[in-house]
Amino acid sequence: MFLQGPVFVLSLGLLPFVWGHSTHDQTPLDFITKSGHSDVQHGGQNAWLEKYGKQIDQPFSGPLSFSHLPYSRCLEDTTAEFDIALLGMPFDTAVTYRPGARFGPYAIRSGSRRQRETRGYTLSWRNNPYALGSRIIDCGDVPVSPFDNALAVDQMEVAYSSLLARPVATKGDAVGLPVQTFAKDGKQHPRIVTMGGDHTIVLPILRALNKVYGPVSVIHFDAHLDTWPAYPGTTSDQSRVTHGTFFYLAHEEHLMSNTSVHAGIRCKLAGIEDLDNDQAVGFQLISTDDIDDLGVNEIIRRIRERVGDSPVYLSLDIDVIDPGLAPATGTPEAGGWTTREVKRIIRGLAGLNFVGADIVEVAPAYDNAEITGIAAADLVHDFLSMLLTTEPPKVNRVRGPLKDEL
């Protein structure tokens, strides 16, 4: 009896709030039906379309394709037309440390969800790559074997070769520079931006490109050389194929010209003999620290001078970026470049004779708030502008004296 009084008083106190809320802020369901404010009940199968229009994909909804691009399983759909294809290679069974890059294509696509064709213009590039006249689509993933590396490497080579052999969707200058002048058959071929996967995927890619273009120059963004002959304990030919040896194997197979260049190297080495071997494989080296001593513009100049007018393939390992900004990778190295610095260098490479590009070693299990996947997706967007423009964007200079707003 003692508790009933206060409870009753409290209930009475709430009644005006409940009554006021229900009469002023909510519309009774029968009013909606009688007044015709809802077409759901009587509008039939087109009720949504008539009232709300198309079923658009929001940044956080819809099927997962890169930047909400048209998606096709291009390896089986031979009618799919494209000038540039986004292709996933979810392979990570040749790593020396942390696995997980098989989920890289997923993470990069997920990181691109806020991007889309209709909002692709950037201040830094001063263009929208999707509005430059080329057809760009997401061709899905290569279904690589996670059990047999020899089989997986062959699957990736065959997949890449298949897409390279397709006719381009757009004829003429709309697809960028005339890289067909480097093709053995004199024809224009599609270009592929590959999402790895560990860095081993570059070996089958270079094998496929070699059939069309012959040896190519490689611009290699990475914390590591990836030119080692083999790792201790190698007992078979297949065990030589790893994410740290693929460039050495590519050199043995004459897939690269002697005008390739590393950018962002900072890994620990066995000694000076690693650098001698690296030079013999055909690489010039730009270290991470060089950005402090030389600056971005000089790094760009040296890369461009090194590869010259040759056909160029760009490969970017996400670990070139400092792990504080891109932690989701298998072999992180402290002291890397910032995302902004890498993006600036990439802009400075526009106009080279690119035959393809990739981004690799994104392993989302080690990520935090998707920051690595988002950075990787943004770099892929940069790749598209890089492939489709004939020169670096002009740098905006602030005109007149700066004003103190305080």
Count of domains forming the chain: 1
- The DSSP-derived string for 235-297 is -STGGG-STTTHHHHHHHTT-B-S-EEEEEE----S-HHHHHHHHHHTEEEEETTHHHHT-HH
By three-state DSSP, how is residue 383 classified? helix
Predicted local distance difference test score (pLDDT) of residue 135 = 96
- Whether 12 is covered by a domain: the verdict is no
Helices 339-347, 371-388: inter-axial angle, 10-degree rounding:
10
> How many residues are given for the chain?
406
Q: Which domain holds residue 176?
A: 66-388
CATH number, domain with residue 325: 3.40.800.10
User: What tokens does 209 get?
Assistant: 């490109």
> What is the reported pTM?
0.86
Report the chain's C-alpha Rg in angstroms: 27
Distance CA 111, CA 125 (A): 20
Strand partners, 312: 217, 354
Predicted local distance difference test score (pLDDT) of residue 405 = 57
Strand partners, 321: 337
- Whether 89 is covered by a domain: the verdict is yes
User: Between the CA of residue 67 and those of 43, 130, 260, what are the distances in Å?
Assistant: 33, 11, 31
Q: In what order do the strands lie in the sheet with 191-196?
A: 136-141, 84-89, 191-196, 353-360, 311-317, 217-221, 260-265, 283-287
The model's pLDDT over 224-263, given as tens digits with 9 standing for 90+, comes to 999 999 888 777 889 999 999 999 999 999 999 999 999 9
Q: Which amino acid is at 358?
A: D
Distance CA 313, CA 355 (A): 6
Contacts of 181 (CB under 8 A, 6+ apart): none
Per-residue pLDDT tens digits of the chain, which is 406 residues long: 444 444 444 444 444 443 444 444 554 545 444 444 544 555 789 999 889 999 888 888 888 999 999 999 999 999 999 999 999 999 999 999 999 999 999 999 999 999 999 999 999 999 999 999 999 999 999 999 999 999 999 999 999 999 999 999 987 665 566 677 899 999 999 999 999 999 999 999 999 999 999 999 999 999 999 999 988 877 788 999 999 999 999 999 999 999 999 999 999 999 999 999 999 999 999 999 999 999 999 999 999 999 999 999 999 999 999 999 999 999 999 999 999 999 999 999 999 999 999 999 999 999 999 999 999 999 999 999 999 999 999 876 655 565 665 5
User: Between the CA of residue 217 and those of 68, 283, 344, what are the distances in Å?
Assistant: 32, 9, 21
Contact 139, 163 (CB under 8 A): yes
- 260-265 and 283-287 beta bridge pairing: parallel
User: What tokens does 290 get?
Assistant: 């060089």
- Whether 182 is covered by a domain: the verdict is yes
Strand partners, 357: 193, 314
- Whether 160 is covered by a domain: the verdict is yes
- Whether 41 is covered by a domain: the verdict is no
User: CA torsion 308→309→313→314, rounded to 10°?
Assistant: 40
Distance CA 191, CA 299 (A): 25
Contact 230, 251 (CB under 8 A): no
- Whether 383 is covered by a domain: the verdict is yes
User: What tokens does 361 get?
Assistant: 């070693």
The model's pLDDT over 136-168, given as tens digits with 9 standing for 90+, comes to 999 999 999 999 999 999 999 999 999 999 999
- Whether 305 is covered by a domain: the verdict is yes
User: What tokens does 97 get?
Assistant: 């440390």
Q: What is the largest CA-CA distance in the chain?
A: 97
Measured between its terminal Cα atoms, the distance across the chain in Å is: 67
- Whether 39 is covered by a domain: the verdict is no
Predicted local distance difference test score (pLDDT) of residue 119 = 92
Helix (H) or strand (E) holding 354: strand 353-360
